[in-house]
Amino acid sequence: MMRVVSYAIGLVLAASGAAPAIRFDRTTHDFGAVPSNLKQDFSWMYYNDGKAPLTILAMIPSCGCTASVADPKTVPPGSSGALKITYDPAGQSGDVRKTLTVITNDREHPRTILTILAKVASTDDEVLPNGHPRFAGQSLLMGSCASCHAAPAEGKTGAALFEAVCAMCHGPTREALGTFVEAHDDAALTQAITYGTANPKMPGFSSLMGGPLDEAQVASLVKFLRSPPPGKR
């Protein structure tokens, strides 16, 4: 019965043109200098400036080290809620940039990208293979890391783009991604490349996330991944 009532209310609100409108006072939070062995917590306030209930539908972090819980998930017009953010800097060092994509029922702004910054002082003396710095998530596309993971993408599409910025992590051929590609449709592949995944080794490569790729380049990668390898056409 409650579902029927809620549905009916939703229809009335839609007919009247009433809609939710999400607002954040700021979209960037800087934790400042933190040790790598201490988790950081932060409550990110959000507000509903619209005329219909606002619902947090999903929160997608660029890295598994960032967790979030909406409290509450739905707020009425004129009210506010908080995203409880926990950032675990374990295994990281230096300037770190993480993102959290918040998806809501706000039709005008269904996605809001929040950015988390930190300067991590490593407490782990373990040396990584080949001297690669302890960077993960969006940090792979910043600073000195950008020269390998972002800059080579300029002006490239398709196979050349894959070879320039994807092959170093995924392997020189697309076969290593075969299982993932087969299990996901084009929209899911586009989402993974654009916004990243929970795996800290796969940040969002789109310009929206601070990466080097525009929409056409992302589309060319999806097309390349979906096309059969040479010799199997």
Q: Which residue has the higher pLDDT, 94 or 43?
A: 43
Predicted confidence at residue 147, as pLDDT, reads 83
Given a cut of 60, is residue 214 above it in pLDDT? yes
Report d(CA 183, CA 85) in Å as an integer. Answer: 30
What are the residue boundaries of the structural domains of the chain, listed by start?
19-123, 135-233
Highest mean pLDDT among 47-56, 97-106, 148-157: 47-56
Residue among 35, 30, 39 at smallest CA distance from 67 = 39
Report d(CA 196, CA 205) in Å as an integer. Answer: 7
Mean pLDDT of 42-58: 96
pLDDT, the chain, mean = 84
Given a cut of 50, is residue 3 above it in pLDDT? no
Range 19-123 has CATH code 2.60.40.10:
yes
Mean pLDDT of 124-148: 65
Cis peptide before 61 (omega within 30 of 0): no
Torsion-angle region of 116 (φ positive above 0: left; ψ -120 to 50: alpha; else: beta): beta
Report d(CA 78, CA 124) in Å as an integer. Answer: 46
Highest mean pLDDT among 7-11, 56-60, 165-169, 200-204: 56-60
Predicted confidence at residue 112, as pLDDT, reads 95
CA dihedral for 106, 108, 111, 117, sign (positive or negative): negative
Query: How many CA atoms, within 13 angstroms, populate the side-chain half-sphere of residue 85?
Result: 28
Predicted confidence at residue 125, as pLDDT, reads 53
Highest mean pLDDT among 12-16, 19-23, 140-144: 19-23
Range 135-233 has CATH code 1.10.760.10:
yes
Predicted confidence at residue 135, as pLDDT, reads 57
Predicted structure pTM score? 0.58
